[in-house]
Amino acid sequence: MQSFRTELENPLVEKDIIDLARKIELFREGKIHEEKFRSLRLARGVYGQRQQGVQMVRIKLPYGKMTFKQWKRIADISDEYSTGNLHLTTRQDIQIHFVSLDRTPELWSKLEEDDITLREACGNTVRNVTASPSAGIDPNEPFDVSPYADATFRYFLRNPICQEMGRKFKIAFSNTDEDTALTYMHDMGFIPKIQDGKRGFKVVLGGGLGAQPMLAKTSFDFLAADQIIPFLEATLRVFDRHGERNSRHKARIKFLIQKIGFEKLTELIQAEWKSLKSKSFEVDTETGKWNVEADALPSKTASEVAIMNQAAYDLWKATNTFEQKQTGFYGVYVRILNGNIHSTTSRSLIEQLEGYIADDVRVTINQGLMLKFVPEANLYYVYSVLEAHGFAAAGANSMANITACPGTDTCNLAISDSTNITSKLEAVITEDFPELIHNSDIKIKISGCMNSCGQHGMANIGFHGSSLKAADKRVLPALQVLLGGGTVGDGVGRVADKVIKVPSKRGPQVLRVVLNNYEENANEGEYFNDYYDRQGEKYFYNLLKPVADLTTLKEDDFIDWGASEQFQTEIGVGECASVIIDLVATLLLESVEKMDWTKAAYDENRWADSIYHAYSVFVSAAKALLLDKSVSASTQSGVIDKFDEQFVATGEISLSGKTFKELVLQINQNEPSQEFATKYVEDAEAFLALAKAYRDQLTLV
């Protein structure tokens, strides 16, 4: 591989990209351990996929926002480096697949020309900040949350406190109490409130799906808007220090809460306050980009368009559009099967829609798009454009629009198909229950495994990929059926119950049985979850038991949806977050690199950043020496305590009369001033030199 060069206006971005290119070279030369390299590339949006030798690249779009120019750039990138497909995700990102690792720096560089990043789209970082797609135009919102989501995204991008956490951290902003961003299933979520004329947020903390879903708890019923970023910063510092690092399955903040309790976590967060970079953070909500100024508003009025099927248009308008709070404009939801849209289609849509709608397109959490500021006079035209491209299906937010992760198409962890079956399940609604196209209370979601990337864990009707064994010991693809999950509102949600497992080919039958039963037996106006609660889990288990009967299997049941050969489980190594490689030499080399970051931040007068980088130097170097003794610690706080036990208390290493804990945790006792930064950086450099000398002495023995 040749060394990569780029010329970008942002020197930080340019350094990032050149660094990735160099690290790829070192990895190819065998000079970087595979696990360490995995951690590095994940934090730069490069993710291994099911097919060997190629990568998935995740493009980070804060709160799903993109301009036409950015959308076109992504489409062109997919043509040049991928397959031409753009996959819209439930976290408002766009993913492209089958990318050569060696070409990712060049790809990233071209994206950055239109201010699009890959940085921290994967890995143990703050992931993409999501938000309600209707933010800024919803008639029911107290205020636009977009500026706050944007500020959060930018504040924590490349922030040293969240670069190498034990696990990922997900943040969401809902714009109303309806909670369309699903805050209750996030590590931290925000819902806007007005109190005494002042802006603020309800804050929920510690939610998550995955194999062990947990609902978020309320931290504040009202937190002033200028305090949300400081609170986030303090929480991330605690999570970084006390979060699990050895067992990735127990490493999310929900497990830290489970381990130490919510009250103790709150105390630890409060103890960080003195050391924060920002005690208050005012978000700019006045600039034009939040108000869609004239240059972004539609400038064209469409000519009269003949609609061939007026009934279809009326249904589309009723289910896919809404009147904005800005008089005369509509928001339009676009339904996209499995979130997959081709680059050619994207460019054609851009060409035909540009000027007729605002230059502000949002990726939605149900894998679709939302178009903003569509003048009422242009609705017929927009519908005709979408119809010509196959994207005018009604029910964009109804149960007919099913969310699905990529599953066995590309994911290492997927057990059975989740994409081909989606079209079959949607057909059940369209063909057998057409009246439910208006039902937006029931959500159907499917994932290829239990990890819930398709959000099945909070669906009213959910499925996740699995397997079953027949009487003759052959394995067949299966679906775990879940019922009763969903959004209650205002940061409160429900986790779905696992009811029964059935052969995958019987998924459509499950849906028919459940919906027929609901239609026949529910009381007038009774919501699905109320009906589920009234009947109970056992009732639905017995209802679906005949569908799960394995004595009536056919040969077709052993072939997964979209496949032609007999099913077999092929689960690879997951990369939802990386592990930290426990090699002494590697850790010491990392410590040296972190010391370089410390000095660079210090030289740029970024005192808080230099202090936190120095903290990382202490922990990384101490961990290296502990590992040399085969002593493991699963948290950074554990590393600090065990270093004192193993080295300081024994007299093996002297720290001028201080304990290691006293030395390191000065970080919590001081404001991030130049004076403290100077001393703390010097202490970290001295400790690193001591650790290297100690290690060198051991290797000479």
- pLDDT (0 to 100) of residue 582: 38
Residue-level pLDDT at 578? 38
- Please give the C-alpha separations between residue 6 and each of 24, 110, 158, in angstroms, as whole numbers: 16, 9, 20
Q: What angle do CA 391, 396, 401 make, to 5 degrees?
A: 95
The DSSP call for residue 45 is T
β 361-363/369-375 pair status: antiparallel
Looking at residue 293, its pLDDT comes to 54
**Taking Cα atoms as reference points, which of 637, 684, 673, 696 lies closest to residue 264?**
637
Strands 475-483 and 497-503 turn out to be antiparallel
> What does residue 77 show for φ and ψ, rounded to 5 degrees?
-60, -40
Sheet holding 198-205, edge to edge: 130-131, 171-173, 188-195, 198-205, 217-224
Tell me what pLDDT residue 290 has. Answer: 52
What's the full length of the chain, in residues?
701
If you compute the radius of gyration of the chain from its CA atoms, what whole number of angstroms results?
Answer: 26
Residue 551 CA to residue 98 CA, distance in Å, equals: 40
pLDDT score of 425: 96
- Closest Cα to residue 698, out of 627, 594, 633, 592? 627
Cα(332)–Cα(318) distance, integer angstroms: 10
Spatial contact of 131 and 316, defined as CB atoms under 8 Å apart: no
Nearest-CA neighbor of 307 among 386, 236, 241?
A: 386
Query: Closest by alpha carbon to 412, among 568, 210, 576, 572?
Result: 572
How does DSSP assign 184-230, residue by residue?
A: GGSSEEEEEEEETTEEEEEEEE--B-TTS-B--EEEEEEEEGGGHHH
**Vertex 175 angle, CA 171 and 179, to 5°:** 75
Q: Answer whether CATH 3.30.70.1290 is correct for domain 130-275.
A: no
Residue with tokens 């676009």: 334
At 593-618, the pLDDT tens digits run 899 999 999 999 999 999 999 999 99
- For residue 583, what are the contacts with CB-CB under 8 A and spacing of at least 6? 33, 36, 627
Measured CA to CA, the distance from residue 613 to residue 620 in angstroms comes to 10
**Identity of the residue numbered 634:** S
Partnered with residue 87 across adjacent β-strands are 95, 340
Q: How far apart are CA 313 and CA 297, in angstroms?
A: 24
pLDDT for the residue 22: 87
Assess if CATH 1.25.40.340 describes domain 584-700: no
Residues 6+ apart with CB under 8 A from 435: none
Beta carbons of 171 and 130 less than 8 angstroms apart: yes
Rounded to an integer, what distance in angstroms lies between the CA atom of residue 684 and that of residue 677? 10
Which CATH number is associated with domain 11-112? 3.90.480.20
- For 403-558, CATH gives 3.30.413.10
Name the β-bridge partners of 195. Answer: 198
Which amino acid is present at 416? S
Q: What class does CATH assign to 292-388?
A: alpha beta
Structure tokens that stand for 68 in this block:
């036409």
Tell me which DSSP letter residue 170 carries: -
Among all chains, which residue has been given the structure tokens 């909670």? 179
Angle at 223 between CA 219 and CA 229, to 5 degrees: 90
In angstroms, the CA 701 to CA 691 distance is 16
Q: What is the DSSP letter of 249?
A: G
List the chain domain ranges: 11-112, 130-275, 292-388, 403-558, 584-700
At 346, is the secondary structure helix, strand, or coil? helix
CA distance 611 to 676: 8
- What is the bridge-based pairing of β-strands 188-195 and 171-173? parallel
Helices (H), 554-701: 584-603, 607-628, 636-643, 660-664, 674-700
CA dihedral 12, 18, 24, 25 (to 10 degrees): -150
Instruction: Quickly list H helices, 261-307.
Output: 262-271
Give the residue ranges of the chain where pLDDT is below 70.
1-8, 287-295, 570-583, 698-701
Q: What is the value of pTM for the model shown?
A: 0.92
Rounded to whole angstroms, how far apart are CA atoms 123 and 491?
26
Enter the DSSP assignment of 293.
-
d(CA 552, CA 477): 15
Residue 582, Cβ density class (10 Å: 0-12 exposed, 13-18 middle, ≥19 buried) = middle
Q: Determine the pLDDT at residue 411.
A: 83
Q: Same CATH fold, 403-558 and 11-112? A: no
The set of long-range contacts for 25-33, using a CB threshold of 8 Å and a minimum separation of 24, is 25/1, 28/1, 28/102, 33/581, 33/583, 33/586
Are 226 and 194 within 8 A, CB to CB?
no
Q: What are phi and psi of 288, to 5 degrees?
A: -60, -30
What's CA 636's distance to the chain center, in Å? 24
Q: How many CB atoms lie within 10 A of CB 553?
A: 18
Look at the block and give the residue holding tokens 């489970």. Answer: 258
